[in-house]
Amino acid sequence: MTKRQIVRIDEELCNGCGICVTPCAEGAIEIINGKAKVVREELCDGAGFCLAVCPVGALSIEERAAPAFDEGATHEQAASRGRTYIAQSCFACGNTEDDAPLIPVRQSTWACVRCLPSLIHS
Ligand code: SF4
C-alpha cells in the first residue's frame, strides 16, 4: 500500500448509468449491482478521465492508501474485457465511435482521429 491519488465513487449519488465505464481505459470501473465500483484499485491510475462524464458528480479524486498502480494489470484487464464501445463523442465535430476512433485529449474531453490533425496543427 502507498498513499496516492485514486478515484472515489459516492455510491449515494451514483445512479448506475455506466457512462464512466468506457472513459477508464484501464478498465478499473464496472457497474455492479447498479452502482459504479473500482473493481481493482491497482487498475486506477488516478488520472480522472472518468470524472467529468458523470452526470451527478459522483466521481472525485482523493488521496488515500491504495495498492500501487499496476500497468501490467491494465493490459491483462484490457485483454480480458475485449473491445469496449466509448460512449463519448468528439468535442469538435460530434463524431461517435461509430464514425471514427475516439481518443482522450483532455480530462473527459474526447476527439476523433479525423479532427485530431487539424486540432494539433491549428
Ligand atoms: S457516471 Fe456517475 S452516476 Fe453514472 S455509473 Fe458512473 S459514477 Fe455512477
For ligand 1, say whether the CB of 7 is within 6 Å of any of its atoms: no
User: Domain range for residue 117?
Assistant: 88-122
| Minimal-distance CA residue to ligand 1 atom 4 | 17
pLDDT digits (tens, 9 = 90+) for 101-112: 888 787 668 899
8 lies in the same domain as 66: yes
Is 90 in contact with 102 (CB distance < 8 Å)?
Answer: yes
Number of domains in the chain: 2
pLDDT digits (tens, 9 = 90+) for 29-85: 999 999 999 999 999 999 888 888 898 999 999 999 999 999 999 999 888 887 777
70 lies in the same domain as 97: no
113 lies in the same domain as 71: no
User: Structure pTM?
Assistant: 0.77
Q: Which residues of 27-61 are buried (b: 16+ CB within 10 A; e: fewer)?
A: bbbbeeeebbebebbbbbbebbbbbebbeeebbee
Question: Which of 24, 56, 61, 86, when mutated, tests ligand 1's pocket best, judged by the most ligand atoms within 8 Å of its CB?
Answer: 56
